[in-house]
Amino acid sequence: MFRLDGKIALVTGAGSGIGQAIAHLFAAQGARVWVLDRDLQAGAATVSAIRAAGGHAEFAELDVSDPVAVEAVAKKLPVVDVLVNNAGVGHVGGLLETAADDLDRLHAVNVRGPFNLCRSFVPGMLGRGRGSVINLASIAGVIAVRDRLAYTVTKHAVVGLTKSLALDYSHAGVRFNAICPGRVETPFVKARIAEYPDPEKAYREMSSTQLTGRMARPEEVAATALYLAADESAMVTGSTLLIDGGWSTGK
Ligand SMILES: NC(=O)c1ccc[n+]([C@@H]2O[C@H](COP(=O)([O-])OP(=O)(O)OC[C@H]3O[C@@H](n4cnc5c(N)ncnc54)[C@H](O)[C@@H]3O)[C@@H](O)[C@H]2O)c1
């Protein structure tokens, strides 16, 4: 079950963290994976590691916020079966610590990024009448997260984008789903923790927001992405799949 043999998958932000884990798992399950990242070194390292493990991977350097660059990459790539919009950025702060520029920076990557990729890659999927688009939203796309105003706003938008696309295009054979992780131990979260005056205390507090008492591992999120990419989830579209250790249940 959950094999991806013969499928072409594209993963943005696959040079690190969750995207890297998704790229590895998809390749291990038989997919040909395109690793897209604005960080050339990180993306190339992911590709080398996949190839060393016997998988198929290619790299393209790309800033997802740039629609012209996205379209140029799309012209060079084949039609993909699976598109994972994973690249994302964060910002710590409530209203008073969030400048308009911070909001714009997060919007450019977290919202316009998936929008740009969908604009360029979904037409090919629609032309073939099949495909799976997986957007990395967040628990912050379902509930508000304290001191994360710009992040909460943009991740709610990712959930809205996913639902809107699912409503308009699921009838044509292309599925759109959002994954909403709680905290996952990746460089993204480690960078946020390092910003706190007492990082160890911050780590404990961030772990405890999950009812399970720990953060998720990137591989655990990748397993959810594999389910959504595989044909076994053919009836799943427009969903927001929580992998939050029960965080959203209540506190
Ligand atoms: N780590 C968490 O706790 C967590 C929780 C919920 C949701 N998420 C979401 O999951 C996704 C991945 O998070 P992560 O923790 O693995 O992050 P990460 O920082 O470890 O990796 C993100 C990758 O995206 C790339 N990237 C950033 N901006 C880009 C751009 N404009 N164009 C192309 N590539 C770009 C980076 O170079 C990096 O390789 C993000 O969308 C994030 O919001 C993360």
160 and 125 share one domain: yes
d(CA 55, CA 32): 8
42 and 72 share one domain: yes
Tens of pLDDT, residue by residue, the chain (251 residues): 999 999 999 999 999 999 999 999 999 999 999 999 999 999 999 999 999 999 999 999 999 999 999 999 999 999 999 999 999 999 999 999 999 999 999 999 999 999 999 999 999 999 999 999 999 999 999 999 999 999 999 999 999 999 999 999 999 999 999 999 999 999 989 988 988 899 999 999 999 999 999 999 999 999 999 999 999 999 999 999 999 999 999 87
Nearest CA to ligand 1 atom 20: 17
Name the residue among 82, 83, 81, 64 with its Cα closest to residue 73.
64
| Predicted local distance difference test score (pLDDT) of residue 250 | 85
In a domain, residue 250? The reply is no
Pocket probe for ligand 1: among 186, 189, 203, the residue whose CB has the most ligand atoms within 8 Å is 186
In a domain, residue 246? The reply is no
In a domain, residue 245? The reply is no
What's the CATH code of the domain at 120?
A: 3.40.50.720
Nearest CA to ligand 1 atom 37: 39
209 and 120 share one domain: no
| Predicted local distance difference test score (pLDDT) of residue 42 | 98
110 and 31 share one domain: yes
Pairing assessment for the beta strands 240-243 and 174-181 based on DSSP bridges? parallel
d(CA 212, CA 182): 11
Strand partners, 241: 179
- Tell me how far the alpha carbon of residue 55 lies from the centroid of ligand 1, in angstroms: 23
Ligand 1, pocket residues at CB < 6 Å? 12-13, 15-19, 37-39, 42, 62-65, 86-89, 109, 113, 136, 138, 181, 183-184, 186-189
- Tell me how far the alpha carbon of residue 129 lies from the centroid of ligand 1, in angstroms: 29
Q: Is 151 in the active site?
A: yes
75 and 113 share one domain: yes
140 and 198 share one domain: no
Nearest CA to ligand 1 atom 21: 16
| Predicted local distance difference test score (pLDDT) of residue 147 | 93
202 and 231 share one domain: no
Q: 202 lies in which domain range?
A: 186-215
Provide the domain count of the chain: 2
192 and 82 share one domain: no
84 and 205 share one domain: no
203 and 133 share one domain: no
In a domain, residue 49? The reply is yes
206 and 144 share one domain: no
Nearest CA to ligand 1 atom 9: 136
- Tell me how far the alpha carbon of residue 249 lies from the centroid of ligand 1, in angstroms: 24
d(CA 189, CA 102): 18
In a domain, residue 37? The reply is yes
67 and 190 share one domain: no
Measure CA of the first residue to CA of the last residue in the chain; give whole Å: 36
For 91-159, the DSSP string reads: --B-GGG--HHHHHHHHHHHTHHHHHHHHHHHHHHHHHT-EEEEEE--GGGTS--TTBHHHHHHHHHHH
In a domain, residue 204? The reply is yes
Pocket probe for ligand 1: among 86, 106, 188, 207, the residue whose CB has the most ligand atoms within 8 Å is 188
In a domain, residue 1? The reply is no
In a domain, residue 30? The reply is yes
Which DSSP state fits 216?
Answer: B
Nearest CA to ligand 1 atom 36: 13
